[in-house]
Amino acid sequence: MTTLLDISKLAVLYLRQSTLGQLRDNVVATAEQYKLREIPERLGFPADRIVVVDEDLGVSGTTIAGRTGMLRVLDLLERGRVSCVVVRDIGRLTRDAFNADIAIIARQCYHAGAQIVTPDKTYDLSDPADQFTLGLQGLLAGWDHSNIVRRLAQHRKAKQARGTNINGAVPPGYEKIIDVPKSSSDYGRLRITVDGEVRERMTLILRKGLELGGILAVVRFLRAQDLRVPILRGEESRFVTGADGVTRAVGAGRRIVQWVEPTRDRVTRILKNPTCAGAIVNGRRTRELDPGTGRRRWTTRRPYERCTVIRDAHPPYISWEEHCQLIATIARNNQAKTFGAGQALLSGLGLLKCGVCGAPMVVQYNNPQRRARGRVYRNTPFTYTCSRRARDGRALLHQNPAGPYIDQAARELVLFGLGQLDLDGLREVRRERQRRVGEADRLGLQRVEVLTRRARMLEDAIGDATRPEARSRLVARFEDALAELEAARQSANRPSEREAPELSPQRLRRLEVFRDPAAAWSRFTTKTRKEVIRALVGTAAIHPDLDGYFLVFDWADGGRAAARVKTIRRQKLYVVPGDVLALFGDDSDTGHRRVAGRLGRGRRGGRASPRPDAAGCPHR
């Protein structure tokens, strides 16, 4: 049917291409979209009534969010200033696989009385037939996008299976083979660079990493020898301001080798890069569900077991076994450094969680002194901070209690738990277990003797038997008796099975130090104290209260204990779980009692621990 347009309003020409690569390479497609300006000119729109919206060139159409050009078009439609929206095809408007965005665009056009114009068809949103066609076109556009993504993923895997590197930029020390025809199987593969200086420096860094067994050790060696590290960077410098407002210098143009000062980050990228081991790893970066927010987030540190590893894809600097050894060494160094470093008692254990959101709590060390109003004040040496972040990257900071107070509460909880250790009972349990083991061994020997006598009796009966039928039955019984005797002998010779690991006398003697937990704790180093906490505690959590905090330890054997930390009045108020308050008994007693605990499995509403000396716990 004939469609009438109001030329007194605006004709919006909307342009979009999915990626910056398409914008750079498909110049003709971009020019064809700009030529669509001829359509509103033929319809009678004057030049000053034609608005070209090209802010979304290089932006994906999978969602409206983040598309400033489409948001501008929707704003013009909402104000009723648009007569028609001109696009190359419906796929330029949206590529939403669930067809939700096309409904938003169509609804705005319907309320504004605007139409969608393409070179092939004009969609009048007041016509039900055009509404149905437009919805179907949007659904097909989303389906086509999903198919393209799936095919590209398959092509990526197929290329990597052939040994072609498609993981982005080439690392230093390598270069792509491009001096052969594209039809050749070697096109796009990696080879070791022909630059002898870069090749020797890369070999030196990797060999020193295996020899010294650490990233910082390699950095110190390079700085002591006044050696630089090769990186690949654009030969032109360009300053870019990020979303965080920080201006950074980035390379642009052709990538060339540049020599820079060795830093921890630069050496880490070389030592931990599987490309230097001749391998291609696919799937290190993927989207996984975040249990805290319920949204999918990008994960870039997946282990090799969960990735597709193609070994011997190109010439290596080191073998794959040496690379795995180097990765394991770096991981051990990080764990040892995190476990033993710092004065914070609960740092590096991986046990402490935020009681508000369940996120891990990290340690933040502060300057010992702070200056304010011309005076020097003593600062809190460290704090425990909730690591949960908002969607925009901002720290939520549910709580950040002072570290020394939390460590003091942790010490009291550990002493409280060690006070439950019954060394005399452990010795009695060991003696009882030895008695049971001895009784089981004695019964096993008696069974062997009985079965031996039975086998001899059957052997004598076989010699005395006169009838063949009786002899056959006795022989069968004799063979069964021998098999049973052999099984009994093997059972008697095997060590007796224990229902739990046995405490050796040496371990019991080592536990004697905990007869006086406070004296033993004062002699321990920070690392030993952390080892004791790791052995005793399964999980730990900090619950903020109005005037303090509750530090809760869930023991490894299923019990639970909590300590109350009194601080200044807090600005934020969170609800303390009832099972934590139940450890302290009545609400009236919560403000006086410092430590409370419960033996056995934690259950809601349980009583306080029946420890005899619980009344002797510190009070505040």
> Can you give the pLDDT at residue 261?
92
DSSP state of 597: E
What value, to the nearest 5°, has the Cα angle with vertex 229 and ends 227 and 233? 145
Neighbours of 620 (CB within 10 A): 10
> Can you give the pLDDT at residue 615?
32
How far apart (Å, rounded) are the C-alpha atoms in residues 453 and 241? 93
Band of residue 290 on the pLDDT scale cut at 50, 70, 90: low
Residue with the bigger pLDDT between 620 and 257: it is: 257
- How big is the chain by its Cα radius of gyration, in Å? 37
Helix spans in 35-91 (H)? 38-42, 68-78
How far apart (Å, rounded) are the C-alpha atoms in residues 349 and 356? 20
How far apart (Å, rounded) are the C-alpha atoms in residues 161 and 42? 52
Whether 163 shows a pLDDT value over 70: the answer reads no
- Which tokens hold the place of 518? 């406070």
Whether 155 shows a pLDDT value over 50: the answer reads yes
**Arithmetic mean of pLDDT, 48-52:** 90
What residues are paired with 66 via a beta bridge?
Answer: none
pTM score over 0.85: no
How far apart (Å, rounded) are the C-alpha atoms in residues 16 and 77? 18
DSSP string for 20-56:
HHHHHH-HHHHHHHHGGGHHHHHTT--GGGEEEEEEE
Whether 607 shows a pLDDT value over 70: the answer reads no
Angle between helices 196-212 and 264-271 (to 10 degrees): 90
Whether 529 shows a pLDDT value over 50: the answer reads yes
How far apart (Å, rounded) are the C-alpha atoms in residues 344 and 385? 12
Q: Which range, of 236-240, 263-267, 326-330, 531-535, averages the lowest pLDDT?
A: 236-240
Pairing of strands 296-299, 286-289: antiparallel
Residue with the bigger pLDDT between 254 and 94: it is: 94
CA atoms within 13 A on the CB side of 505: 2
- Which tokens hold the place of 404? 């020394």
Tens-digit pLDDT profile for residues 217-235: 999 999 999 999 998 877 7
> Can you give the pLDDT at residue 221?
93
**Arithmetic mean of pLDDT, 432-441:** 77
What residues are paired with 274 via a beta bridge?
Answer: none
Band of residue 106 on the pLDDT scale cut at 50, 70, 90: confident
**Arithmetic mean of pLDDT, 311-323:** 90
